[in-house]
Amino acid sequence: MTQMTVPRRWLPSGWSRMQRLAATLGPGLVVMLADTDAGSVLTAAQSGAQWGYRLLLLQFLIIPLLFVVQELTVRLALSTGKGYGELILQRFGPAWARLSTAALMLSCFGALLTEMSGLAGVAQLYGVPVWQSVSLVALLIFLMVCSGSYREVERVAMLFGVAELAFLWMAWHAYPNWQHMKPQLLDMPLHDASYLYLLAANLGSSVMPWTVFYQQSALIDKGLDLRDLKAARVDTLLGAMLCQLITAAVLIAAAAVFSGHGGVVLDTIPELADAFGRALGPVGGRLLFALALSGGALVATIVVCLSSAWALGELRGTHHSLAQHPLQAPWFYGAFALMLIAAALTVACSDSLVRLSIATAVLNAVLLPLVLGFLYVLARHELPASLRLRGGYAVVVGALFLLTGGLALFAGVTGALGG
């Protein structure tokens, strides 16, 4: 396959390896910080509260899966210069491209539900009614989408994402009981529907359609090419490890706060914040939780908006819809406004923001076979020979994707029907 050369818009030549790495860092870290969004945090917290440390090992097993998935998007982006949706359109045709984009938009809508739920829950901590907070959040998101270039958005996202590091501090200062943790690590009650439901939610809150779309398009939009492959891989690996470390920290903190035995089912975000407040101090604990949850939700909101714009643009044969004035792309801004309104109404009418967020994660898990299947075929056929997925590694990746997709689908459906 002929490699497409993407113009380098801002990386000067002659830089050292460390300078090139520093310049390339961004898309991988941002997408992984977005991966630890409100839904991921609430899913991990519910996992720790309900099942103690029994889902902790899964968080670390997800690291290689995350890296493999996102690293393939790096190869595709830097070698073809085309987005994920554009490659699906090229390889499979319009019908499959529309199906893939529909799955993405469904996932993005679910993500907006999750982020609004998280931000509304934080507002509840300080006495703001849900309908008021979601109305304000929807308006601010729409205004953000209507302005700003990618690099400006990326800097804002990285700034918000720093707040998520507070979860690491919270896990340490929750003083987890290591004696409780050890016997639970390998205890996996796969016969229990509620356990399977949360297992699916943890998978679905880690590997999501919009993270695949985002990183591939972001690398292209940033002007990177194959000279940046090693640095982009490092960026992706660091992001995957940081993502799951933060998620594991949330689970550990929640398990420790609820004594490590499990059995607690959370309904509201203030319940969780109060629990952290009891362990870490009524003011400091609640404030840290609010900042960290808001940081993840804001990063994810930015990424979801960009993913939606790029994917719809690729399907229509246009690019970088967020750089266009609303009057130049009314189809996108109109559809996005309707999606925001629908998400705000759904959150305002929900009686449990935690359950809504977890259900969204399970929906992502059910979509995993489709996302992983497309990615595998593209990596096998759309890459140049030197980067193509082949040989023993192709067999390993195929087995990993098949196992992950099958487990996610089985756990999600069984857990939902059994719950």
pLDDT digits (tens, 9 = 90+) for 70-124: 999 999 999 998 888 889 999 999 999 999 989 988 888 888 888 888 888 888 8
For the four alpha carbons of 129, 132, 135 and 141, in that order, the dihedral sign comes to: negative
Domain that holds residue 238: 17-418
One DSSP character per residue, 154-200 reads: HHHHHHHHGGGGHHHHHHHHT---HHHHHHHTT---TT-HHHHHHHH
- The CATH number of whichever domain residue 226 belongs to comes to 1.20.1740.10
Residue 384 is assigned to a structural domain of this protein = yes
Whether the CB-CB separation of 381 and 134 falls below 8 Å is answered with: no
d(CA 215, CA 221): 10
Question: In which band, very low, low, confident or very high, does the pLDDT at 126 lie, cut at 50, 70 and 90?
Answer: confident
Residue 382 per-residue DSSP state = S
Residue 4 lies in a domain: no
CB 295 within 8 A of CB 164: yes
Residue 362 falls inside a structural domain: yes
Report CA 412 to chain centroid distance, whole Å. 18
Rounded to whole angstroms, the Cα distance separating 39 from 334 reads 26
Structural domain contains residue 12: no
The per-residue pLDDT for 10 is 45
Question: What average pLDDT does this structure show over 388-399?
Answer: 94
The closest alpha carbon to 87, from 182, 195, 4, 196, belongs to 4
Domain tally, the chain? 1
Statement: residue 235 has pLDDT above 90: no
Please state the pTM of the whole predicted model.
0.85
Instruction: Tell me the mean pLDDT in the region 379-383.
Output: 93
Calculate mean pLDDT across residues 118-147.
84
Residue 208 lies in a domain: yes
Residue 11 predicted with pLDDT over 50: no
- Dist CA 229 CA 275 (whole Å): 44
> Does 10 reside within a domain?
no
pLDDT tens string 17-49: 665 555 556 566 677 667 778 888 889 999 999
Query: Could you tell me which residue, 208 or 1, shows the higher pLDDT?
Result: 208
The reported pLDDT for the residue numbered 161 is 67
Give the mean pLDDT of 270-277.
80
Q: What is the mean pLDDT of residues 266-282?
A: 78
- Domain for residue 368, yes or no? yes
What single string gives the DSSP state of each residue in 223-235?
T--GGGHHHHHHH
Q: 217 vs 203, which has greater pLDDT?
A: 203
Q: Is the dihedral of CA 16, 22, 23, 24 positive or negative?
A: positive
Q: Is residue 85 part of a domain?
A: yes
Return d(Cα 393, Cα 361) in angstroms, integer: 29
Helix-helix angle 330-349:94-125, to 10 degrees: 50
| pLDDT value of residue 379 | 95
